[in-house]
Every structure is written in structure tokens, then in C-alpha cells.
Amino acid sequence: LGKHLSEEIRRRQSESLKRFYREHPGIRQEFGKNHSGSNHWNWKGGRSTEIRLLRQSEEYKEWRDAVFRRDNWTCQNPECGYKGHKIVAHHIKDFEEYPELRYDVDNGQTLCRACHKKLHYNIGEGMQFKVGQYPWNKLPVPAREELEKLYWGWGLSTVDIARTFGTSHRTVRKWLRHYSIRIRSLSEARQNLFNNQHYLILWEREAKAESQILEKVQAKQGA
């Protein structure tokens, strides 16, 4: 899929990025600090670890097994009816939004893996997607201005943007199409990569400015 890049192109890309990071050794750490933990745009107060532990608890496993037994290990999609081991216990009301219903067997439904995947690719009543979210993944779509700044302003590739938001480059391309943001041609992408020194310097300056503002705020709070 996509355009095949020659070994020479790949080598030049690699050397360009390595040279930049040698000349700007602190940029990765600085960018990481500004986009991790509570500074990340999708920070939810550290709930991910809590939710993961709840799903691994004995109470959760007992609830899941009770749902399977009630439904006779059969997918409840009337158009499917699969019976076997490739099944999941689906929460009709969202696991995170309705904690009081997490272990209510009546809030569970047995689905095969295929039907469960299809279900979460549709937005509707009972789905876990929230306002502002879209079916291609469970991340809120960034604002148009933010995407344009990263993609055209800073010249980041869809792969780099994907790493920032913790998703895939295909999802980023869908975001761009959603906002009708023009996607760079192959020649533009190559030219952008070989001339990326300017936007990365701006990136570093902005990261430093954000850090200085944060230090001033913290200094005032401590005074």
C-alpha cells in the first residue's frame, strides 16, 4: 500500500531526523513533558489504570461468566447467533459512565467478537462513544486549528501526529479528511521532510515558551 520509497530516500530521511535530534538534544524530553500525564489533551485523571484493574478483578470475571451462562454462550445479535469461545460480555450502559451498573447482569449482553467490533463502530443509543467522538476510534477528534497547526504549520507528518495523540496515522488522515484539510502530495511530503529544520526550531521555541510560562505560574503560586 502507498508509495514505495527507495533506499536512498529512506537513508536521507533517517539522516535528516538524526541530525536534527543531535542538534536539539532536549526537544524530545521537552515535548514529552508538555504532552504527557496531566499536560496531555486527553488526560482523564489517571483513570485508565483504575479501569484496567477493575476489568481484571474477580468481581468482573464473575459478572462476565454470569452473562455468558444466562445467554448460553451465544451471540445475542439475532442476525448472528454464533455459539463458541470467541465471545465477549458487552456493557449495554457504558462501563465508565455507569459505575453502579458495572456488575449488573441485566446490563450485560453476550456478543461474538465480530459483532462487538461492529457495534462499537456505530454511534447510537447505548454506545460508549461520547459527544464529540467518532466511530473510527475512541479518541475525541482534535480541533481543526490544532490539526492544521501540527500538519501545515509545523509540518509534522501524519505518523508524528499519530504518536502525539497515541493513535495510528490512518486515523490522523481520517481526521484531516473530516475537516477537509488538504493532505500533502508525495512530492510536498518529501520536500517538507528535507526542509523541516525551520518548523522544528519553531516547535522547540514554543515548547520553551510554554515551559517558561509554567515556571512563572508556579513561582507566583509558591509566593
DSSP string, 64-132: HHHHHHHTTTB---TTT--BSSSEEEEESS-TTT-GGGTT-GGGEEEEEHHHHHHHTTS-STT-S--TT
What pLDDT shows up at residue 71?
92
Whole-model pTM over 0.85? no
221 class by beta-carbon count within 10 Å (0-12 exposed, 13-18 middle, 19+ buried): exposed
Q: Where are the domains of the chain?
A: 7-42+139-222, 47-119
| Blockwise average pLDDT, block size 10, the chain, 223 residues | 69 78 71 61 57 80 93 88 89 80 89 80 38 45 84 79 76 86 73 52 59 70 66
| Cell numbers linked to 181 | 484539510
| Cell numbers linked to 34 | 508538555
- Can you tell me the distance from the alpha carbon of 89 to that of 68, in angstroms, rounded to the nearest whole number? 7
What pLDDT shows up at residue 72?
93
The packing angle between helices 7-23 and 186-194, to 10°, is 40
What pLDDT shows up at residue 39?
60
What pLDDT shows up at residue 160?
76
CB atoms within 10 A of CB 194: 12
| Cell numbers linked to 150 | 501540527
Placement of cell 516547535 in the chain? 203
| Cell numbers linked to 91 | 456493557
- Can you tell me the distance from the alpha carbon of 218 to that of 223, in angstroms, rounded to the nearest whole number? 9
